[in-house]
Amino acid sequence: MTIKVGDKLPSATFYIIGDNGPEPLASETVFAGKKVVFFALPGAFTPTCSQAHVPGFVVNADDILAKGVDTIVCMSVNDPFVMKAWGEQSNAEQLLMLSDGNAEFTKAIGLDADISVVGMGVRCGRFAMIVDDGVVKHLAIEAPKAFEVSSAEAIMAAL
């Protein structure tokens, strides 16, 4: 079942790179008591993700945060080392780059996409949401190969 507006996000463990390597980060830590703009995409260093999706949130981060958002999260089904490197290369210092390396969160919210046909396995579909204290307030799911409703500009208009 796909997550929808009004649903509480499931408990999950994401990963980030800390001082000693990969570290778990509980979803409750990310969402509890916070207003979060959360966007997810199929893969780090892929064309649309790297040339449009992440850059839009990097360029608009100050404006998004000024609208009362506590955290801007970028998540992908990549390992935490890749997410860290991608964030650094993208100048995404204001974004929290989360790894859902085993697609557990992605599958739990029903937004997984099997793109094995191009050698990428199970990934996350492209989407963005506004989450308030763990509850989905706005959800924008892209059609396959589309990039329209989950852009930084579209999410800013929804805030």
Residues carrying an active site annotation: 49
Half-sphere exposure of 5 (CA within 13 A, CB side): 8
Residue with tokens 């999706």: 53
- Asked whether the beta carbons of 123 and 77 are under 8 A apart, the reply is yes
Q: Which residues pair with 112 in a beta bridge?
A: 124
Strands 71-76 and 35-41 turn out to be parallel
23 in Cβ contact with 153 (< 8 Å): no
Biggest CA pair distance of the chain: 41
Which residues lie across from 38 on neighbouring strands?
A: 73, 129
